[in-house]
């Protein structure tokens, strides 16, 4: 789960505290300072294969939402503690409210069953939150920013079964329901080429395949990951609701150059196909996973492609640093591809050595368009970008 800060629309964000829950030490420690050092900074790895929970209370402020408050937490665990090859599973919850009565609740899971026979991904989400719309394509401008109210309901699940060594095949289901409100008509959102202005819904049914040789799913230092996903949305709901297909490809490679140094790379493609595709089914550039430094949705189109690389240096058991760079863009038959840069650096804190689970602090820069300030963002996240 990701907590994202963008300097553009969030003025203040404070991390008040972190609560870590781990199995008790072998012997009771009398000194509270020693306990804290052991729990937060010790390089000693607990071999009990117990679960690890982190909770991050946070507050923020944005002009469009007012004061924001809530929590985010993730629980990492092994479904089979006796199997040393069992991969880390996790359940993540984030919930925030604002003084403007907006709310965001998201529950996700990434589960690996016994013997890693099944891989199950799920998401439940309710979001009553505004966003900034800049138009369609990769040649949009900050001056056209249009504030839009949004309500979203999402439910999705992917179930993949091991069918050969490191190879999974599965099925997936995704339901999304959108409602939009334009408080000030006459902006770029209120133009003829934006379909689905009032919202809509769709139910997508699909298949996926995964080839995964990663040595660790939370902080990978060696291996290969390739996932291909396709789904189709029949005309279940009629009207102007989305009917069409979606394709996603995600390729990752990890190479340990030296014990503390890892080179990681990722290539991602996401595409939406169909006649009269509503804008809510388009693909967004930006966020805290790919193309860091850009507001999520700063560029929006039917297709999105990106490539990024990271150089990860874990100089201590509990701490590491990362440098990253990438490029990407959105495109369609109506709008040509324009590649934009993304680069930055970050710090990693490993809150669980058993699971190699991290808290990620990243600062990223994007392009500087003529007459605009350089796009940038600061990101506080739980787990790696890829």
CATH of the domain at 317: 2.40.160.50
CA angle (72, 76, 81) in 5-degree steps: 165
Percent of the chain with pLDDT over 90: 72
> Rounded to whole angstroms, how far apart are CA atoms 52 and 180?
39
Number of structural domains found in the chain: 1
pLDDT in tens, 235-255: 999 888 999 999 999 999 999
Predicted pLDDT at 16: 35
Burial of 33 (0-12, 13-18, 19+ CB in 10 A): exposed
Summarised one tens digit per residue, pLDDT across range 158-175 is 999 999 999 999 999 999
End-to-end CA distance of the chain: 12
Domain that holds residue 108: 2-382
pTM attached to this predicted model: 0.87
């Amino acid at each position: 789960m990701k907590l994202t800060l963008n300097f553009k629309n969030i003025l203040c964000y404070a991390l008040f505290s972190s609560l870590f829950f781990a199995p008790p030490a072998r012997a009771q420690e009398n000194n509270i300072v020693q306990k804290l050092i052991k729990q937060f900074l010790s390089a000693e790895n607990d071999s009990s294969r117990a679960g690890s929970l982190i909770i991050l209370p946070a507050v923020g402020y944005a002009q469009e939402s007012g004061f924001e408050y809530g929590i985010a937490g993730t629980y990492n665990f092994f479904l089979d503690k006796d199997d040393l090859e069992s991969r880390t599973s996790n359940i993540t919850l984030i919930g925030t409210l604002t003084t403007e009565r907006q709310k965001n609740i998201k529950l996700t899971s990434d589960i690996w069953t016994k013997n890693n026979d099944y891989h199950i991904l799920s998401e439940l989400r309710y979001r009553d939150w505004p966003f900034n719309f800049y138009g369609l394509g990769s040649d949009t401008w900050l001056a056209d920013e249009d504030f839009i109210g949004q309500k979203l309901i999402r439910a999705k699940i992917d179930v993949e079964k091991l069918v050969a060594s490191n190879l999974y095949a599965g099925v997936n289901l995704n339901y999304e329901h959108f409602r939009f409100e334009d408080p000030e008509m006459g902006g770029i959102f209120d133009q003829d080429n934006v379909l689905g202005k009032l919202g809509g819904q769709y139910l997508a049914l699909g298949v996926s395949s995964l080839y995964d040789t990663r040595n660790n799913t939370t902080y990978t230092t060696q291996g290969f990951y390739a996932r291909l996903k396709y789904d189709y949305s029949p005309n279940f709901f009629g009207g102007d609701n989305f009917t069409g297909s979606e394709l996603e490809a995600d390729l990752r490679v990890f190479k340990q150059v030296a014990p503390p140094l890892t080179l990681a790379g990722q290539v991602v493609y996401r595409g939406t196909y169909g006649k009269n595709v509503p804008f809510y089914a388009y693909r967004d550039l930006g966020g805290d996973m790919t193309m860091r430094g850009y507001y999520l949705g700063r560029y929006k189109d039917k297709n999105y492609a990106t490539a990024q690389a990271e150089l990860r240096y874990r100089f201590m058991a509990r701490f590491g640093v990362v440098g990253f760079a990438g490029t990407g863009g959105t495109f369609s038959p109506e709008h040509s591809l324009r590649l934009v840069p993304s680069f930055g650096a970050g710090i990693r804190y490993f809150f669980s050595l058993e699971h190699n689970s991290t808290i990620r602090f990243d600062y990223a820069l994007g392009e500087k368009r003529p007459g605009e300030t350089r796009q940038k963002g600061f990101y506080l996240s739980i787990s790696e970008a890829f």
